Amino acid sequence: MTNHVVNLGVLEGFGPVLAFLIVFVVGFAVLKKSEILGDEAFANILVSFVIASVFTSFIGVRDLVLITIPWFAVLLMGLFFVMMFGGFIGKPADMVGKGVVWVFAGLLGLVFLISGFWIFQGSPLWNGFLNWAYGSSFGGTFILAIVASVVGWVLVKKG
């Protein structure tokens, strides 16, 4: 018999509800801030509700959100500590520049991709993607895209 300080099994059913609320609130905030649908609140609420409903209706997508959110919180706390240390040193603007933000965004994107690969690895769509990605034409196309990107970046920097 194990002794638990607190039994949190009752909260197990709130996972989908919390995932819905997080996707709804973040979607609404992004739509309101970007003003893609204009300044009308009802349109932003309706679109956010539809997006959150789709996210929570499909188990794989819901699991992706539930796995990604804690890592986002960890990365956000890391960014907060970098900003806090910059404030203690006295040069917060020098400490937290565009480089730190790009590193934060890159790490968040990496967490999102790894979580997606981990969740969707057994699906037929994923297996079809792997067959396509490891095919003979994909490797050449990928290398060509990388070379074109590097050449374009060098030309823009020199110009």
Contact 72, 114 (CB under 8 A): no
Which residue's structure tokens are 């070379």?
147
- The dihedrals phi and psi of 91, each to the nearest 5 degrees, come to -130, 65
* Tokens (6 digits) for 8: 């949190």
Contact 37, 27 (CB under 8 A): no
What sign results for the dihedral spanned by CA atoms 149, 143, 128, 58? negative
**C-alpha separations of 104 from 8, 65, 67, 77, 99 in Å:** 32, 18, 17, 11, 9
pLDDT of residue 51: 85
Same domain, 127 and 151: yes
Residues 24-37 as b or e (16 or more Cβ within 10 Å = b):
beebbeebeeeeeb
Same domain, 75 and 51: no
Looking at the domain assignment, is residue 46 inside a domain? Answer: yes
Q: What string of pLDDT tens digits covers the 159 residues of the chain? A: 566 666 666 666 777 777 788 888 998 998 888 888 888 888 888 888 888 887 777 767 667 777 777 888 888 888 788 777 777 776 655 656 667 777 877 888 888 777 777 777 766 666 666 676 676 566 666 776 787 778 777 777 765
Q: How many domains does the chain have?
A: 3
pLDDT of residue 82: 76
pLDDT of residue 146: 80
**What is the model's pTM?**
0.46
Looking at the domain assignment, is residue 62 inside a domain? Answer: no
Same domain, 100 and 135: no
Same domain, 140 and 158: yes
For residue 44, give its domain range.
Answer: 7-57
